[in-house]
Amino acid sequence: MTTAAERFVERLLEHDVRYAFGIPGGPWIPYMEAMRRRGLPFTVVANEASAGFMADVCYRLTGRPALCHGTFGPGATNLATGVGCAYLDRSALIAATTEPTEAMRRRVMQMNIDHQALFAPITKQTVRADAATIETLIDRTVLTACAEVPGPVHIGLPSDLADQKAASAPPLSETPVAPALANPDRLAAAAEKIAQAQRPLMAIGLTALRLSLGTQVLRLAEKLQAPLVLSPMAKGLVPEDHPLYTGILFHARSDLMAEVIRESDLVVGIGYDPVEFNYESWLPDVPLVHLDTRPADVDASVNLAADVVGDLAATLGYLGATQLAVTGWDLERLAAHRRRLYEALRPGSAGLGPSETLDILRDILPAEGIMTCDVGAHTHLIGQLWPTPAPGRQIMTNGWSSMGFAVPAALAAAVCRPEVPVVGVTGDGGFTMMAGELITARRLALDCVILVLADQMLSLIEVKQGWKQCDPETSVLYSGGFIDAERIFGVPVLSADNPDTLRRALKTAFQTPGPVVVEAVVDGAVYHELIARSYR
């Protein structure tokens, strides 16, 4: 009989878990040693939240869950930030935390909180392990994590568990249950509604991207000649130069997006997950046909004409084989709208503008490169402006929307895809939260560029303060220079404040082995023009 720690690691490897991140405590040492002996690298990070973010991104890029770990109390609460990201951004991962022994878990003791209660609201399942069932428990939690809709699971590891003897158990023969076929009557009702519409609008969401349904979505859109709008995390599912592509919901210049949306007489939500943007926040006063693996989450204000729940690929196949007429949309007007939108996304600025910065980055980053982005005013611009040639080439958090995401996400992308260029785009606020991860990037010799858009402000908050006629002084982060050094944590820093110096800095950064920070001093004032207050 081997130990519980050894069984834990062996079973994870059998489930093709290949990445693990976290900060150890003493009881975690046997697990780390078992990982070392069996070739599962455990990456020590600077902040447990990063461990969760990195495990999340590993799932997005590989389709397999990764492991993240935090120790008692503060380790677990820090980890919860990254685990919550996986929960609302729909990524499978295994979160492990060290818990007190059974005798002490309900006692008053240092660092002791109820981890099961902590993780219950932000995971699909939270369990406490024991030596007798640890392998079967891992089988079940991985199965739960990967089932539709994917998400995190939490395993509490008692501090005295690692060295206990644990017997082997046969692997479970179960596989994740695929969604059933949709109800035929509801499918027929949806097809009838679509056939009756003159100007249906197709709203494509995160589920469609996760299930790789781009070809089926485009086939239906081209059959109907209906415009496509995407939620931010669905970027890359359809080509942005396609004549039916209309833009990204919720992000920059959403007031212009609303002009097209208001012309529709039916909205068809395809894999639309409201975790990014509730239907009620943008839906015009028209019927909704919702096609997804889960029922529509709407209130009574929405005219839900059809709610089709089931295997989404099969649903799209049914509609693709149904007799549906070409709609009445004016494609020339849609093309004019796109031109107007892209022109509006590039306002003039007093210095180096954020739009200009992104255009330069897009010109330098190869098409196969991966860009991760943080949360802030620049996220709204990236969502609308950044051309994304394929799924997985632009990674953001929109369901969870935690500042600090971009840096660890870029590190995870560099770990999973070392053969492609990686850049993380963050604001100065988000960078200060996770700058310590540069130590991780340096230690691992990861080839990644961190582009910091430095404008001295929490710019998204400043924009919203403007809507309320509030003084923006409370959103100022600093005065003077930002990094103001040639290196930070031993990582080179290149600075730019105009297009020429930015272009040179980015070219140098991508040619330099290991991590590099590029600080771009940008004019944040233009965000007031770019970020619209409301769709309605």
Q: Read off the pLDDT of residues 269-294 as tens digits, 9 standing for 90 and up.
A: 999 999 999 999 999 999 999 999 99
Q: Is 61 in the same domain as 30?
A: yes
Residue 360 in domain: yes
Q: Is 281 in the same domain as 409?
A: no
Burial 317-335 (b: 16+ CB within 10 A, else e): ebbeebebeebebeeeebe
Decide if 313 contacts 216 (C-beta within 8 A).
Answer: yes
Phi, psi of 112 (to 5 degrees): -95, 115
User: What is the count of structural domains for the chain?
Assistant: 3
Residue 369 in domain: yes
Q: What mean pLDDT is reported for the chain?
A: 95
Phi, psi of 316 (to 5 degrees): -65, -35
Q: What is the mean pLDDT of residues 303-314?
A: 97
> Any residues with CB less than 8 A from the CB of 477 and at least 6 apart, and which?
428, 429, 432, 456, 457, 458
pTM: 0.96
Q: Is 76 in the same domain as 117?
A: yes
What is the structure's pLDDT at 64? 97
Q: Is 144 in the same domain as 286?
A: no
Residue-wise pLDDT tens digits, 376-408: 999 999 999 999 999 999 999 999 999 999 999
Residue matched to tokens 């509730």: 278
| Terminal alpha carbon distance of the chain | 65
The CA-CA-CA angle for residues 476, 480, 486, to 5°, reads: 120
What is the structure's pLDDT at 55? 98
Decide if 493 contacts 485 (C-beta within 8 A).
Answer: yes
Q: Which domain holds residue 307?
A: 184-331
Residue 359 in domain: yes
Q: 209 is written with which tokens?
A: 């991207």
Decide if 448 contacts 414 (C-beta within 8 A).
Answer: yes
Residue-wise pLDDT tens digits, 119-173: 999 999 999 999 999 999 999 999 999 999 999 999 999 999 999 999 888 988 7
Q: Is 409 in the same domain as 500?
A: yes
Using DSSP's 3-state secondary structure scheme, residue 411 falls into helix
The CA distance from 409 to 417, in Å, is 12
Q: Is 358 in the same domain as 321?
A: no
- Selected residue with higher pLDDT from 264 and 106: 264
Q: State the CATH number of the domain containing residue 155.
A: 3.40.50.970
Q: Is 254 in the same domain as 402?
A: no
What is the structure's pLDDT at 23? 98
Instruction: Kindly calculate the radius of gyration of the chain based on its CA atoms and give it in whole angstroms.
Output: 24
Confidence class of residue 318 from pLDDT cuts 50, 70 and 90? very high
What is the structure's pLDDT at 534? 59
Q: Is 411 in the same domain as 505?
A: yes
The CA distance from 117 to 332, in Å, is 55
Q: Is 307 in the same domain as 435?
A: no
CA distances from 29 to 35, 155, 161 (A): 10, 17, 12
pLDDT for residue 509 is more than 80: yes
Residue 130 in domain: yes
Residue-wise pLDDT tens digits, 31-45: 999 999 999 999 999
Q: Could you tell me whether strands 394-395 and 370-373 are parallel, antiparallel, or unpaired per DSSP bridges?
A: parallel
Residue 176 in domain: no
Name the DSSP class of 372.
E
Q: 334 is written with which tokens?
A: 């849609």
Residue 51 in domain: yes
Decide if 452 contacts 357 (C-beta within 8 A).
Answer: no
Task: Please identify, among 305, 331, 357, the residue that sits at the C-terminal boundary of a domain.
Answer: 331
Best CA proximity match to 30, nearest among 93, 115, 77, 98: 98
